[in-house]
Structure 1
C-alpha cells in the first residue's frame, strides 16, 4: 500500500474512533444514576406545579420531563434532538424542563440562576434557547460567566433591575436546588435524564427518547 493512501486510511480510522468516543460520552455523560431514595420527608415528584413547561399538550398528552445542566455537553448534544421531537410531537406531549446543575461544571449553577431569573419575567424558554445555542462559547470555562448571561438577559430586553435582584436572591437558588434535590431523590445522577409519563428512561442510543415518546403517544408504554 502506498504511503499517502495508508496515511489517509489511518486518519479516517482515527476520526471514526474519536467520533464514536464523543457519541458515547454524550450518551452516558459522567456517572450512572443512583437508585431512587426511599423514605424521607415525602415522596419526590417528577413534575411540580412550578416546573417550567415548554409545551402543554393538554390533559391527555404524554408528559416528558428533562433534567438539564446547561453546561453539560450531552445536554447540548441532545438539544437539537429535543427541539425536533417537540416539533414532531406538537400537541401530543407536554414538555417540562427541570434544573440539575452538576457540581463539576463551574457555570452550571450560574446558568440555572440566569434561566430562573428570566423565568420570573416569563422568559424562561428564551433564556433556555440562548444558553444552549451559545454553550460552546462559555461551557467548560473555569471562571464565572455570569456577566455573559446577564448580557443575554439584556439582549432579551428583560428588566435588568429585576433580573439582578432575582439572580442575587436566595429564593432563586433555592428554586434551582429544589429541582436538583428532587431529581437526585428520583434517581437522577447525570444529565440529560428524561422521564416519560413518570418513568425514568435509560438512554442507550440516540433514538431511545423518540422511541419512548412514540410508544407512549400510541399507548404502548
Structure 2
C-alpha cells in the first residue's frame, strides 16, 4: 500500500498537465482513437448503466470520476480512490465513467476492453488491471489491443464473447454515452471528479479528498 501511495504522490504533479489538455473533438478522425462526441443535452453525472465501484444501501454522497485509462493523472488518483472506496464504501457511492482523451493512442482501446469485460461481470477486475499495468503500456505508439485481450484471458473471460463485445458498435456507443455526459457537464480533461452533481477541482492528495468527503457528509 505504501508503495502505491509513494507512486501516487509522485504522479499527482501530472494532474496539472492533464487539466491543461483541451479536447480536440471534431467530425474528423483522431490519431488517439478517441470517440468523437457532442455534449449531451440532458447530461447526467450518473445513469442507471453507470459502473458503480461501491453501492451502499444508504448512500449519503456520490463521487463520479470521468477517467482515461491511459492518463497518468488518472493512474496517480487510482490508489487514492481505492483507499477512499475502502474507507467510505458503506456511505459513499463511487462511480467510474469513461472519458478517452485525444492524444492517447490506446485510450479508446482500453475503454472498449473494460466495457467488454463488464459485459461478463468483470468491470472492476479489468479496470484495476489496466491501472495496475499502466506504466507498461501507457503512451505506447502501437495498438495494445492484443495486450488487453491477454488480460481478458487471464481474468478467465469467454474470449469469443469478449471479442464480439469489443467489435460491437454498441460497446463504443456505451463509451460515447459517458463521454457525451462528461462534455455536457463541462469536463475538459482527466481525471475530473463530480461530487453530488458538481464538478470539483481535483484534490491533490488523499487527505485533501478525504477532508472534502468528510465535509460533505457532515452537511
Length-normalised TM-score, structure 1: 0.82
CA 1:50–1:22: 2 relative to 1, 3 Å? closer
1:218 matched to 2:218? The reply is: yes
Aligned mate of 2:18, from 11, 17, 29: 29
The equivalent of 2:172 in structure 1 is 173
Gaps of 5+ in 1: 1-19, 35-39
Question: Which whole-Å deviations, capped at 9, do the CAs of 1:24-62 have from their partners, x for residues lacking one?
Answer: 32345142679xxxxx87421000010001101134321
Q: How does 1:20-169 map to 2 (within 5 A)?
A: 23-31=12-20, 42-169=41-168
Q: Deviations over 1:69-88 (max 9, x none)?
A: 00000000011111111111
Q: Is the 8 A contact 2:52 2:95 kept in 1?
A: yes
CA shift in 2, pair 1:57/1:21, >3 Å: closer
- Is the 1:79–1:132 contact (alpha carbons within 8 Å) kept by the matching residues of 2? yes
Equivalenced residues, count: 196
Distance in 2, matches of 1:28 and 1:93, equals 28
> Following the alignment from structure 1 to structure 2, what is the Cα–Cα distance between the partners of residues 150 and 77?
24
Equivalent-residue separation in structure 1 for 2:99 and 2:148 (angstroms): 18
CA contact (8 A) 1:33 1:188 kept: no
Q: CA deviation at 1:90?
A: 2.0
> TM (normalized to structure 2)?
0.83
Instruction: Measure how far apart 1:89 and its partner are.
Output: 1.1
Cα distance in 2 between the residues matched to 1:205 and 1:131:
22
**Number of the residue aligned with 2:6:** none
Given that 1:27 and 1:203 are in contact with CA atoms closer than 8 Å, whether structure 2 keeps it comes out as: no
Q: Is the 8 A contact 1:110 1:145 kept in 2?
A: yes
Is 1:205 aligned with 2:204?
A: yes
Given that residues 28 and 203 in structure 1 are in contact (C-alpha distance below 8 angstroms), is that contact kept between their aligned partners in structure 2? no
Measured in 1, the distance between the counterparts of 2:98 and 2:135 equals: 19
Unaligned runs of 5+ in 2: 1-8, 24-38
Which deviates more, 25-34 or 80-89? 25-34
Using a 3 Å threshold, how does the CA distance of structure 1 residues 198 and 148 change in structure 2: closer, same or farther?
A: same
The structure that has the greater radius of gyration is: 1
